[in-house]
Amino acid sequence: MLELVSSASRRSAALTTALTVAALTGPVAWVARAAWGLPTALGASRRQLQPTVTGSPLFSGGRFQNTLPTPTIPPASARKGLLRQMHEDRHKGLPAGRVPVVRPELPEQAADLAVTWFGHSSALLEVDGRRVLVDPVWGERVSPSPLLGPRRLHEPPVPIADLPPLDAVLISHDHYDHLDLPTVRELVRISTAPFVVPVGVGVHLRGWGVPEDRIVELGWDDATSVNGLTLTSTEARHFSGRFFARDTTLWSSWAIAGPRHRVYFGGDTGYTPAFAGIGARLGPFDLTLLPIGAYNEAWKAIHMDPDEALRAHGDLGGNVLVPVHWATFNLAFHRWAEPVQRLAAGALRGGVRLVVPRPGERVDVLAPPPLTDWWSAVGSAGDVPAAEATRTAPRRSGLSPRA
């Protein structure tokens, strides 16, 4: 009997020990996984960037500067309201239903002028028979961590490995929703296209294994030629940084000019009078891709709202407007469908030729389809009480955010 009691006691003690170890190691394991690959995903340090960026005339006082004074942190008077929004309004940026995704039909030969929007700011441009991929983000989260940070609201429309041959990859700046480590590594594997980037961003790329001969770094108004296209880095009003240090690399918008057609890609920017100068020098543009989402009064200087995007389109001499920087990640407090609803209403009032493709949908810009409202059927979680707001879990992207 004593042996049975002793055996039971030992088993109980072993079980207690195992449970204690599991309770202690579980959080540790989660933290370790959340931090997996973090140093690599953060990109180049200020020290590593220094030799490249200090030679830029746009780099002053230890940082890159906007032409206009551009606050990126809300004033103290607005921070209390911002904290309240983070607590109360975060769910409003989710779709109420599933975002429709189209499997794109990409022709073997690039067209004279077409665009395939993959979601957020990622798009494939076809310009005079060449292909340019802009701000490609296929990762599951826009974050350096595989477990933390904004997650996709819809799956990528096509595996990145299924993209046709590319002539160039354009990057607007180094924020995670525009420069994605796993996507960069996959593009290095499947493609030989050069990465054309703002000054300093190339240092991140070199650290991630992009060959030196595939990196072209440009300051504002600098240009390079790739297979008959002229790619010009143009002014944007934004900021940069992948951790606490800000403005250590440059941010840009882009003008893509072929022999017959011109495209403007806004990347991520607040409204700036510089648009008019860009339009005068490099336009008019047959197509503009302009950001319309993730706006808030607290950071108005660095993100355009839909009305400002329409104004910028006019400044640039744009013909067809395709909105980007919305629908794919919940990065602000407005309702999911609000940016495109405001944009469509403004375009109707102003007579602007607007096309809003579904994620994955390819548009022939020379024969654009009529505007089709597909977003109202999806709806916004913010249109119903928070307790009733639901989100359909997106499929995995197949690309790990790990470094």
Sort 322 into a burial class: Cβ within 10 Å, 0-12 / 13-18 / 19+. Answer: buried
Q: Which fold has domain 90-388?
A: Metallo-beta-lactamase; Chain A (3.60.15)
Mean pLDDT of the chain: 87
Residues 247/241, Cβ–Cβ less than 8 Å: yes
Model confidence pTM above 0.85: yes
- Higher-confidence residue: 38 or 36? 38
Q: Is the pLDDT of residue 149 over 60?
A: yes
The one-letter code for the residue type at 102 is V
pLDDT band at 360 (very low <50, low <70, confident <90, very high): very high
Q: Rounded mean pLDDT of 68-80?
A: 66
Beta-bridge mates of residue 198: 218
In tens, the pLDDT along 166-201 reads 999 999 999 999 999 999 999 999 999 999 999 999
Closest CA to 392 of 153, 190, 222: 153
CB burial string 248-271: b at 16+ within 10 A, e below: bbbbbbbbbbbeebbbbbbbbbbb
Calculate the alpha carbon distances from 250 to 20, 78, 86, 182, 256 in Å.
49, 27, 28, 21, 18
CB burial string 44-79: b at 16+ within 10 A, e below: beeeebeebbeebebbeeebbebeeebeeebeeeee
Q: Is the pLDDT of residue 35 over 50?
A: no
Q: Rounded mean pLDDT of 289-308?
A: 96
pLDDT number for residue 85: 52
The one-letter code for the residue type at 11 is R
pLDDT number for residue 71: 84
pLDDT number for residue 161: 96
Ordered by start, the domain boundaries in the chain are: 90-388
Question: Which of 15-19, 209-213, 247-251, 390-394 is least confident?
Answer: 390-394
Residues 313/290, Cβ–Cβ less than 8 Å: yes
The one-letter code for the residue type at 393 is A
pLDDT number for residue 86: 55
pLDDT number for residue 6: 45
pLDDT number for residue 89: 67
Q: Rounded mean pLDDT of 240-250?
A: 93
In tens, the pLDDT along 88-113 reads 667 889 999 999 999 999 999 999 99
Q: How is residue 95 annotated by DSSP? A: B
Using DSSP's 3-state secondary structure scheme, residue 305 falls into coil
Q: In this prediction, what percent of the chain has a pLDDT beyond 90?
A: 77
